[in-house]
Amino acid sequence: MRTIQNLEMMARLRCIACGAMPDSASQDFRCTSCGDLLEFFFPGWAPPAAAFDAAVLKALWLARRTSREVLDQSGVWRFRELLPHIPAEHAITLREGNTPLYDMPRCARVAGVDHLQAKHQGMNPTASFKDTGMTFAASSAHQKKFKWVACASTGNTSASMAAYAARGEMHSLVLIPDGKISWGKLSQSLDYGALTCQLRTDFDGCVRILNELVRQKPVYLLNSVNPYRIEGQKTAAIELMEQLLWEPPDHIIVPGGNLGNSSAIGKALIEMHELKLISRLPKLSIIQAQGANPFYRSVKEFGGKKLEPMTADTLATAIRIGNPASWKKALRVLQATGGEVEEVSEIEIAIAKAEIGADGIGCEPASAVTLAGLKKLRRDGFVRAGESVVLILTGHLLKDPDFTIKFHRGDLLGGASAESENAQAKYLQRAPVVLDANLGVVVAALEAAERP
Ligand code: F0G
């Protein structure tokens, strides 16, 4: 039987298109033969060599939950047997992962399913799912002795990168679109000490500049084309399965922007299935905002044969992306798991976000596309009432308070939506009321709120 240590040593890089297997990655993490993306794979896992006991791994990971070792306390590094090897002395961790899985009873009712849960990746140290990939990729930068790390971002990657770079005593360069990211996210990268450049372009324009920059300067690229990011983000799915006692749900639903997260979660599911850690694959479905839906259109209009970049626009600024880098990886996991792709409108996102809030959970707008998408998948019959569903909430409510306040004040969207949607929004809106500091006035407000 192989020892557990051996498993993590066996990672190789491979191009997803031409299959080339470079010994190391170029600065832009593109295949030097064909220009496509690289991924890690683990040749030692292929049958019949993977003669190890899944139960041993599960017991080891569970035992680490009570360990006092720093790496064991991270919900990413705890699962290091399924990741490429990075020596412990290079690990930069903020004890990321370990995020809660919540029951969502009210949201289940509005979506028309019996059992709905949400894994809240917004409960990570910098309040988004990016930390799980960033701990791993920033550690790889540290191992490779880079002084500077950089990313293009809609705000969450940059916040996360800035934090991990600071912890690892590296400098960080952030390229973000001027004006189209929330103050919460911007303020994080400032406080964590990043050189923050707001470029007069959109996210896709920031990516273009960054790709040129890394070819000229010794700067380590930390966007999700970096395959270490994807490896770290896999652990959200591993941890989810552990929380579900290794009994997979029927459906997992994720938001789709640059499509790194869906690729990572799908990769983890496929690998866990291969390693017999789970007995069947959940269907992984990807939801995009209607105004930023290049992947939805790729699948629906072109059968996934090509992706036409677009100029993206949505108030869910985290996923305001018109040319997603990882679309081929995401397509592969969509097909392998039998998932669906769906698009949702601005009002559908806003309503779903308030519904998630009304369950006492809350999330940022991009995360709410999952519930909005579930409602549509349920109506179309792709999801059945008795099936179990897990939504991946990617960012915390406080990432974008501006959106939330505008929604509750009725200032978010014009009146262009259908009457039934406007009525649903109104029902959920809780604008603050300004009153005199007088007991009678407050009691009157309370009594008015109690009336049906
Ligand atoms: N949800 C949130 C809150 C995000 O910040 C992002 C992406 C996504 C969903 C989409 O995930 O790109 O892996 O498909 N934010 C990136 C950023 C692009 O720069 O923070 P994806």
How distant is the alpha carbon of residue 158 from its chain centre?
14
Q: How many domains does the chain have?
A: 1
Residue 382 inside a domain? The answer is yes
Does 406 map to a domain? yes
Q: Is 320 within the bounds of a domain? A: yes
Considering the chain, what percentage of its residues have pLDDT values greater than 70?
96
301-312 pLDDT, tens digit per residue, is 999 999 999 999
The answer to whether residue 435 is domain-embedded is no
User: What is the model's pLDDT at position 2?
Assistant: 42
Which ligand 1 atom is the nearest neighbour of the CA of 364?
A: 3
Beta-strand relationship, 38-41 and 12-15: antiparallel
Ligand 1 atom closest to residue 395's alpha carbon, by position in its atom list: 3
Q: What is the DSSP string of 404-423?
A: HHHHHHT-SS-TTS-HHHHH
- The answer to whether residue 49 scores a pLDDT higher than 50 is no
Q: Which atom, in ligand 1's list, is nearest to the CA of 160? A: 20
pLDDT tens for residues 142-188?
A: 999 999 999 999 999 999 999 999 999 999 999 999 988 899 999 99
Phi/psi for 415 (5° steps) reads -85, 25
Question: How close is the Cα of 106 to the center of ligand 1, in Å?
Answer: 26
Per the confidence metrics, is the pTM higher than 0.85?
Answer: yes
Q: Is the CB of 259 under 6 A from ligand 1?
A: yes
The answer to whether the beta carbons of residues 390 and 254 sit under 8 Å apart is no
Residues forming a β-bridge with 341: 286
Decide if 65 is inside a domain.
no
pLDDT of residue 3: 43
**Ligand 1 contacts CB of residue 261 (under 6 A):** yes
Asked if residue 294 has its Cβ within 6 Å of ligand 1, the reply is no
Q: What is the pLDDT of residue 88?
A: 96
- State whether the beta carbon of 153 lies less than 6 angstroms from ligand 1: yes
Instruction: Examine the pLDDT at 51 and tell me if it is beyond 50.
Output: no
Q: Alpha carbon 433 to chain centroid distance?
A: 35
Residue numbers of the domain that contains 251:
101-127+233-428
Q: Are 260 and 233 in contact (CB under 8 A)?
A: yes
Strand 38-41 vs strand 171-177: parallel, antiparallel, or unpaired? Answer: unpaired
Ligand 1 and 224: CB distance under 6 A: yes
Domain assignment of residue 314, yes or no: yes
In this structure, what token pair is assigned to residue 276?
């017999």
Percent of the chain with pLDDT over 90: 91
Q: Provide the strand spans (E) within 302-449.
A: 341-344, 388-393
55-82 confidence digits (pLDDT tens): 999 999 999 999 999 999 999 999 999 9
